Amino acid sequence: MEKQDKLIKENTELKVRLEECEKVREIKQEMKEEMQEIKKQNNVATMKIP
């Protein structure tokens, strides 16, 4: 039973870490999209300057 309890605890900890990683991945994706939008805006702005 002790080994099973240890595995259950480890599994739970890994699930929590996975959730944290998924949140970070989502944030990184949002930031990447925002950066791309800023780059587009910068390109448009520099094209307007004679």
> Would you say how long the chain is, in residues?
50
DSSP states of the chain as a string? -HHHHHHHHHHHHHHHHHHHHHHHHHHHHHHHHHHHHHHHHHHHHHHH--
Residue 44's pLDDT band (cuts 50, 70, 90):
confident
Angle 15-19-14 (CA atoms, 0-180°, nearest 5)? 25
Domain boundaries, the chain: 1-50
Residue 50's pLDDT band (cuts 50, 70, 90):
low
Output 46 or 19, whichever has higher pLDDT: 19
Cα 25 from Cα 31, distance rounded (Å) = 10
Q: What is the pTM of this model?
A: 0.70
Question: 13-34: per-residue pLDDT in tens?
Answer: 999 999 999 999 999 999 999 9
